[in-house]
Structure 1
Amino acid sequence: MSFIVVVLLVIGLIHLYLWKRLVRDPLRPGISRRIGTAVVLLLAVLAPLTLVGVRAGYFRWLAWPGYLWIAVMFYLLVTLAVLEIPQLLVDRLWVRARKTESAIAPSTSVVSTVTSSAGETVTGGLGETVSGSSEETATGGPGATAAAEGGDPADDDRPGLERRLLLARGAAIFAGLTATGITGYGVKTATGMPQIDRFPMPMPKLPRAMDGTRLAVVSDIHIGPLTGVDHARRIVQVINSVNADLVCVVGDLVDGSVAELGRFAAPLADIQSRHGAFFVTGNHEYYSGAEEWIQEVDRLGIRPLRNERVAINGLDLAGVNDLTGAQQGDPADYARALGDRDTTRPVVLMAHQPVAARDAAPFGVDLQVSGHTHGGQMAPFNMLVKLQQPVVSGFGEVDGVPVYVTNGAGFWGPPVRVGAPPQVTVIELRVA
């Protein structure tokens, strides 16, 4: 409950900031500002309804507009935040320029007009002594210049106000175009064909007969309400195109129940490889009915590895449950999967989260393949992912364990990928 409250508070603050920068600052009071305010309020309600409701199985019809707005919202926030400093600098330069203009402006003579009791008018310059009637108007008095000219002192600041309005409108337009452009590009990338990423992996213990063994690693397919059946079909097509010896599906296959999404997962039965396809759970399986999906995946011809390993010629392939399984009585068991094995044989470990390598390190793992991070999915969000996972994308080493993290072939939440295209990774094992 506290997590939901925090999410609602953050979303509310983001929309308040967007309202200030996109509605209040660039629009004058009136009908346009009122309409803009109403739109921002509506979008502020749409975002949490999508994040909470769609995931819980409600408001499925909000999925596309809601997630697209979340992506646009994110990039509006990033763009406007980046623009804050140049906006401040420009504003300061304008203020300094106005002060300079005022300082060098020519002095104007102050003239006094005095009406005598006899009706005579006497005009005197600054510093002159003028005698006459008690009826006196001094244009040189405080505030008298503006009054004599029929002006309003507030008019003196009008050029500054107009400049600030122009600056606010320019920033709002730039941010809007940038955010929608990036989101559009991201949608095209996320819903397109996954790229093939190839990586040669030297392995000292690998038998010479297995030199060149190809592992097709795919993760985070995220079959869900936005994907349809073509999503899995595209991914299977890419997997089959690489002629893999082994296929490793490292978690987060689905976002929903078997009853709801089973038909969308059906193309996975067409995966082809010489020595079979294998699967380990990700955190999203435990949100979607892990036991049912493990049975469904097995029925589709993909063997689940639940804290166990199999021998494939001179190679051991092991798999552990995702760390989230501990919350449902189905924890990762590294000793069961990796203990009592012949340590002269190389072992590849399938584990959904890269951070699992810290627990696997004592067992002498030769390579861990993982997903989970999506490569950050929407840059610059990848910078935040680094706070939780030791490797975000590609090859790295964690406590002495070589780890390869694939970007994933699908998407979660917004159907948007920026800076982290969907991919199927082909790891070619080489004799070191």
Structure 2
Amino acid sequence: MVLVAVALVVTAHWYVWRRLVRDTTKPGGLGRRAGTAAIVVLPLLAVGAVTSSRAHTPFRVQQVLAWPGFLWLAVLLYLVLALAVGEAVRPLLRRWAEPREAARDSAESAIEVNEPATVGAARTPAAPDSPAADRAATAPVPGTPSRRLFVSRVVGGAAATAALATVGYGTYGVLRGPRIKRITVPLAKLPRSAHGFRIAVVSDIHLGPILGRAHTQRIVDSLNSARPDLIAVVGDMVDGSVEDLGPAAEPLAGLEAPHGSFFVTGNHEYFSGAAAWVDHVRELGLRPLENARVELPGFDLAGVNDIAGESEGAGPDFAKALGDRDRSRTSVLLAHQPVVIDDAVEHGVDLQLSGHTHGGQLWPGNLLAELANPTVAGLERYGDTQLYVSRGAGAWGPPVRVGAPSDITVVELASRQA
């Protein structure tokens, strides 16, 4: 699988080099040399960005590598897609340019035929209104590109513009911060007294070498402005250690909700030292739900560890979190990954709140996410259990979202008895 991924990345870079560098520049020219150097250096930065955190590289080095390395991965994706579309446009441009090239060649031939044959003879300037003057006016300017070169530059330039614009707008969307989304979820067993209870769901914050303290503060401000009754952080809060990212997480201490703020682990916590982060979020005022449950007015709130914790003997335990509860009460489950929905259905959960998918993050990534998750984003029903999946408030890898804007969702519980 790794070899296949490497082969795809190498092929993508070769294709981009061929279409953007080889086909649009002159051999040996500065443009050819600069483009070739970039197509070698940029993937090295990307590899460094992806591997530096796992290799425990100093955090400052991770930050230096992250921006260019991860952004290049996003640009590469949309360059390949745009150039692929350009393959269909290329023949049309060639046909459009063909008559003009033929006319140019004809003009060149006419000029050559009518040139004086005497070697070294001085040329007499043509009269302003003579046929020779007309031919000279239509002759190509020295250095005019060939039809093939012209088409390659047009297609390559358009592809580069489209890719950079797409990534630029997607980056702005992430750095601007998530928008508040509101949904109402009717629950059959919810008592009238809990009608209108609001849970603010935030997932996939992904604090790391790119998204830091300012990102956390934007999220905290948005959550508090929504004035929820309860805040649920459903995993993948960080991509790094407490030592490196503790200061970036500090604004979470400012979360405000009458019934408190709760936290469950995501798979990225287990790449970053989950036990240390559980202790740290507790210090910040959040309550971790490690395969645990708390009774709230009108319903039970439960949380399970992420399935990535199984490698550490700390995976999800639904029996511990839900096994001995009163099933006549409404239950809301916090679980990072949507794939545990079958366990939620088996244990009579009324509503599961999840994240993990990012909604695909980078189109057409949603198509791949659909293969691995029962629900990629939004609300769906599985038997008597409803599953809501947030697209998340941050981004993993490239700080870019395309077709999957970040969100914080305020889930309003509705009683059918109200």
Normalising to structure 1: TM-score of the pair?
0.81
Return the alpha-carbon distance in structure 2 between the equivalents of residues 217 and 381 of structure 1.
Answer: 23
CA shift, 1:162, in A, is 2.8
Q: 1:311 aligns with which of 295, 301, 306?
A: 295
Seen in structure 2, the aligned counterparts of structure 1 residues 340 and 306 have a Cα distance that, compared at 3 Å, is same
Residue 62 (str. 1) matches residue 65 (str. 2) = yes
2:350 and 2:384 in contact (8 A); partners too: no
Secondary structure of the equivalent of 1:387? Answer: helix
Runs of 4+ in 1 over 6 A off after TM superposition: none
Q: d(CA) in 1 for partners of 2:184 and 2:387?
A: 13
CA distance in 2, matches of 1:73, 1:244: 40
CA contact (8 A) 2:43 2:72 kept: no
CA contact (8 A) 1:8 1:48 kept: no
Could you say which residue in structure 1 is the equivalent of 2:10?
A: 12
**Which residue identity lines up with residue 75 of structure 2 in the other structure?**
V
Distance in 2 between the 1:6 and 1:287 partners? Answer: 24
One-letter amino acid matched to 1:380: P
Contact 1:187 1:415 in 2 (8 A): yes
Q: Secondary structure at the match of 1:397?
A: strand
Measured in 2, the distance between the counterparts of 1:179 and 1:55 equals 29
| Shift of residue 424, structure 1, vs aligned partner | 0.9
- Please tell me whether residue 293 in structure 1 is matched to residue 277 in structure 2: yes
Kept in 2: contact 1:11–1:48 (CA 8 A):
no
Q: Distance in 1 between matches of 2:47 and 2:395?
A: 19
> Per-residue deviation at 1:6?
4.3
Residues in 2 aligned to 1:165 and 1:358: alpha-carbon distance in whole angstroms: 57
SS in 2 for 1:369: strand
Kindly state the Cα deviation for residue 89 of structure 1 after the two structures are TM-superposed. 5.5
Give the deviation of 1:356 after TM superposition: 1.2
Distance 1:22 1:418 in 2: 23
Cα distance per residue 1:332-356 (max 9 Å; x no partner) = 1112112122111110110101111
Match for residue 168 of structure 1 among 136, 147, 152: 152
Whether the aligned pair in 1 keeps the contact of 2:293 and 2:301 (CA below 8 Å) is: yes
C-alpha distance in 2 between matches for 1:178 and 1:304: 44
Q: Which moved more, 1:398-407 or 1:164-173?
A: 398-407
What SS does structure 2 have at the residue aligned with 1:28?
coil
Q: Does 1:329 align with 2:316?
A: no
Q: Which amino acid aligns with 2:213?
A: V
Output the CA distance in 2 between the equivalents of 1:298 and 1:6.
42
Is residue 77 from structure 1 mapped to residue 93 from structure 2 by the alignment?
no
Aligned-pair CA distance for 1:396: 1.8
Residue in 2 that maps onto 1:143: none
Residue number in structure 2 paired with 1:212: 196
Q: What is the DSSP-based 3-state SS (H/G/I as helix, E as strand, rest coil) of the residue aligned with 2:308?
A: helix
Aligned to 1:281: 265
- Distance in 1 (CA, whole Å) between partners of 2:277 and 2:12 is 37
In structure 2, how many angstroms separate the alpha carbons of the residues matched to 1:34 and 1:214? Answer: 58
Matched to 2:78, the amino acid is Y
Amino acid across the alignment from 1:15: H
Counterpart position of 1:44: 43
Alignment of 1:342-381 (within 5 A): 342-381=326-365
In structure 1, the residue matched to 2:393 is 409
Aligned to 2:165: 181
Change (3 A) 1:344 1:318: same
Deviations 1:1-52 (A, max 9, x none): x73x444333222111111111112223231323322221122322212211
2:230 alignment partner, one of 242, 246, 249: 246
Q: Which amino acid aligns with 1:358?
A: D
Residue type of the partner of 1:167?
A: V
Cα distance between partner residues in 2 of 1:399 and 1:293: 35
Partner SS for 2:55: coil
- Which is greater in Rg? 1
| Aligned partner (choices 363, 373, 377) of residue 389 of structure 1 | 373
1:86, distance to aligned residue in structure 2 (A): 2.8
Contact 1:390–1:398 (8 Å) recurs in 2 = no
Q: Percent identity?
A: 49
Distance 1:309 1:412, change over 3 A: same
Whole-angstrom CA distance in 1 between matches of 2:406 and 2:7: 32
| One-letter amino acid of the counterpart of residue 177, structure 1 | T
Give me the whole-angstrom Cα distance separating, in 1, the residues matched to 2:253 and 2:92. 59
Alignment RMSD (CA, Å):
1.9
Q: 1:262 aligns with which of 230, 242, 246?
A: 246
**1:43 and 1:400 mapped to 2: Cα distance?**
50
Unaligned runs of 5+ in 1: 102-160
* Alignment check: 8 A CA contact 1:352 1:370 kept: yes
CA apart distance, 1:388: 0.8
CA distance in 2, matches of 1:90, 1:336: 65
Contact 2:231-2:262 within 8 A present in 1 as well: yes
1:296-339 CA-partner distances (Å, limit 9, x unpaired): 11111111111111110120111111111111211111121121
Offset at residue 271 of structure 1 (A): 0.7
Structure 1 CA distance, aligned partners of 2:299 and 2:396? 33
For 1:36 and 1:269, locate their aligned partners in 2 and report how far apart those are by CA, in whole Å: 47
Could you give the per-residue CA deviations for residues 207-238 of structure 1, whole angstroms, max 9, x where no partner exists?
00110000000001111121221111111111
User: Taking structure 1 as reference, are residues 89 and 328 closer, same or farther at Cα in structure 2, changes over 3 Å only?
Assistant: farther
Equivalent position amino acid for 1:48 in 2: V
Change over 3 Å in CA distance of 1:400–1:29 after alignment to 2: farther
Counterpart code for 1:72: V
Q: Which of the residues 384, 405, 411 maps onto 1:427?
A: 411
Name stretches of at least 5 consecutive residues in structure 2 with no aligned partner. Answer: 103-144
**2:142 counterpart residue number:** none
Following superposition, the deviation at residue 400 of structure 1 comes to 5.0
Identify if the C-alpha distance between structure 1 residues 211 and 399 changes in structure 2 by more than 3 Å, giving closer, same or farther.
Answer: closer
**Is contact 1:11-1:47 (8 Å) kept?**
no
1:179 counterpart SS class: helix
Query: Cα deviations across residues 75-118 of structure 1 (Å, max 9, x unaligned)?
Result: 11121122222324655x579x88xx9xxxxxxxxxxxxxxxxx
1:216-274 deviations in Å (ceiling 9; x for gaps): 00001111121221111111111111111111100001111111111111111111111
